[in-house]
Structure 1
């Protein structure tokens, strides 16, 4: 009996998360209410609050799940890398997967701005399971560096270039394309990370 209840709970959570993702993409994060999420999924608000204290917490769970999926695909490829250039290109393949999910990328940017104004969420969003982490990046490239340039700084530069592109892309400026940003990031990292 307990197993059936666990399965039912898991299904309820998945239904609510799916409903939220669809509504966030269609309406935006801020414009979507908990009542809309639960109505769309066919559940009561009580079911929602059984699993999450707030819409922000639900979003963080969705984000963690998405990042886990992206990272699993990346890590499989990384196991075969033999050079800094290969590792950086695998990382950029991973980043391109995020960009291809363009509707979700816009929701993530909206949530990031929301979190910047909400101190308790801002702190959580900075945790590595939710975002592109300078520490994770450093860990992925450290063994391939030939210089003493800090791997965390390379991670931060890479993240700034990627997230800057995401903003440009969301605004539809058309000034930069992803390949140009990727090429610039790879060039910068190889320049700072390899002996000349």
Structure 2
């Protein structure tokens, strides 16, 4: 009996998360309420609060799960990279996967901006499980950096280029495309992280 309840609880949670992702994509994060998420999924609000304390908590769980799947595909490839350029290309393949998921990248950007208004969310969003943090990036490329340039700075610069591109695309500037940003990011990493780069 307990196993059936656990399975039902897991199914409810997954259906609420799917409902949230769909509504966040069509209405935006800020304009989607808990009541709309539960109504859309066919549940009472109490079902939501059995799993999460807030919409922010739900979203952070969605981010964590999504990034975990991306990283499981990325990390073994980066570990097998022959040099910094190959590692950077693998990382940018991963970042492009996120960018190509247009709804997701827009929702993530909106939530990042939303987080700026809360000290608690800002601290959480700087944790590596919720974004491509400078530390994760540094750990991915560290063994391929053969200069004194800190790998954390390579990570910070790449993250800034990635998130900056998301903003440009969201605003529809159409000045840069992803290949421009990718080339610039990799060139910057090689210039700073490789001898004679």
Q: Normalising by structure 1, what TM-score?
A: 0.98
Alignment match, 1:8: 8
Distance in 2, Cα, partners of 1:121 & 1:51: 19
How many residues align structurally? Answer: 196
Structure 1 residue ranges, 4+ long, deviating more than 4 angstroms after superposition: none
Alignment match, 1:147: 147
Q: CA deviation at 1:82?
A: 1.1
- Say if 2:19 and 2:41, in contact at 8 Å, map to a contact too: yes
Distance in 2, Cα, partners of 1:22 & 1:76: 30
Alignment match, 1:43: 43
Alignment match, 2:118: 118
Alignment match, 2:189: 189
Alignment match, 1:85: 85
* CA deviations over 1:84-131 (Å, ceiling 9, x no partner): 111000000000000000111111111111110022112111111001
Alignment match, 2:128: 128
CA-based RMSD of the aligned residues comes to 0.8
Distance in 1, Cα, partners of 2:194 & 2:123: 34
Q: CA deviation at 1:3?
A: 1.1
* CA deviations over 1:46-70 (Å, ceiling 9, x no partner): 0100110000000000011111111
- Say if 2:79 and 2:140, in contact at 8 Å, map to a contact too: no
Q: Which runs of 5+ in 2 are unaligned?
A: none
Q: Normalising by structure 2, what TM-score?
A: 0.97
Alignment match, 2:52: 52
* CA deviations over 1:30-49 (Å, ceiling 9, x no partner): 00000000000111100100
Alignment match, 1:97: 97
Q: Which runs of 5+ in 1 are unaligned?
A: none
